[in-house]
């Protein structure tokens, strides 16, 4: 039931780009991306809906491949504030429940 995220960890220098992937074995209604800083609650980044709709902000965007049930999160020109653990949450029941991956730890260094 849990989606699979890759990579597990990545280290970037400021200004570099990164891609985080999320794969599900279930057909999905939506994919949600969150960022969590140490000791804090997950914070919503964006939602991708079945049908290819996309939401995003700033220099963070995402895609959703319905045929493969895969989503990718793109972080461009990374900033120090992007550091944290990124989780994808997948909704395959349509009941407003999210099943989360184990996370990708992103570290941005000067």
Which residues make up the interface to another protein (CB under 8 A)? Answer: 1-2, 29-30, 32, 40-44, 47, 49-50, 53, 55, 87, 89, 91, 94-103
Tell me how far, at minimum, the Cβ of 39 lies from another protein, in Å.
8
Burial class of residue 49, CB neighbours in 10 A (0-12, 13-18, 19+): middle
> For residues 7 and 15, which CB has a smaller minimum distance to another protein in the complex?
7
Q: Is the dihedral of CA 96, 100, 105, 106 positive or negative?
A: negative
> For residues 33 and 82, which CB has a smaller minimum distance to another protein in the complex?
33
How many whole angstroms separate alpha carbon 86 and alpha carbon 91? 17
Tell me how far, at minimum, the Cβ of 69 lies from another protein, in Å.
16
Tell me how far, at minimum, the Cβ of 88 lies from another protein, in Å.
9
- Helix, strand or coil for residue 5? strand
């Amino acid at each position: 039931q849990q989606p699979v995220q890759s990579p597990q960890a990545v280290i970037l220098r400021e200004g570099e780009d990164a891609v985080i992937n999320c794969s599900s074995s279930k057909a999905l209604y939506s994919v949600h991306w969150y960022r969590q800083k140490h000791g804090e609650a997950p914070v919503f980044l964006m939602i991708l809906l079945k049908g290819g709709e996309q939401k995003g902000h700033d220099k963070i965007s995402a895609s959703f491949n319905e045929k493969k049930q895969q989503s990718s999160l793109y972080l461009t020109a990374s900033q120090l504030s992007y550091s944290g653990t990124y989780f994808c949450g997948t909704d395959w029941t349509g009941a407003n429940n999210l099943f989360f991956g184990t996370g990708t730890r992103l570290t941005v260094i000067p």
